[in-house]
């Protein structure tokens, strides 16, 4: 289980009163072109510069096709990313 799913409980254990808890996800719908190949072309120089990944590992020229293939394999929506927001107040 990821920290994001346990975040509210962890904050309550620290004595915080939770005022807001949200989860937002980036969904890639079937039949819709993905923004990821464009994003990867923009980000790849930085990834290479910082030693995170190489162009050979990312294979940006085939990324769009691989995402399409994944859509077909799963037969539905891909949940690409999730963000958790939990706001709390210190009692007192």
> How far is it, in rounded angstroms, from Cα 47 to Cα 36?
14
pTM: 0.58
Q: Which residue has the tokens 């996800």?
A: 25
Sign, Cα dihedral of 38, 40, 44, 47: positive
Alpha-helical (H) ranges within the chain are 3-13, 36-49, 55-58, 63-74
**pLDDT above 60 for 61:** yes
> How far is it, in rounded angstroms, from Cα 60 to Cα 17?
45
Predicted confidence at residue 77, as pLDDT, reads: 86
> How far is it, in rounded angstroms, from Cα 36 to Cα 42?
10
Predicted confidence at residue 1, as pLDDT, reads: 55
């Amino acid at each position: 289980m990821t920290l994001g799913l346990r975040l509210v409980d962890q904050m309550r254990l620290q004595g915080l009163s939770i005022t807001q808890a949200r989860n937002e996800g980036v969904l890639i719908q079937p039949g819709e072109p993905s923004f990821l190949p464009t994003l990867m072309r923009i980000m790849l120089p930085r990834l290479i510069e910082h030693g995170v990944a190489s162009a050979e590992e990312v294979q940006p020229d085939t990324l769009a096709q691989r995402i399409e293939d994944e859509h077909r394999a799963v037969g539905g929506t891909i949940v690409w990313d999730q963000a958790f927001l939990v706001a709390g107040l210190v009692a007192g």
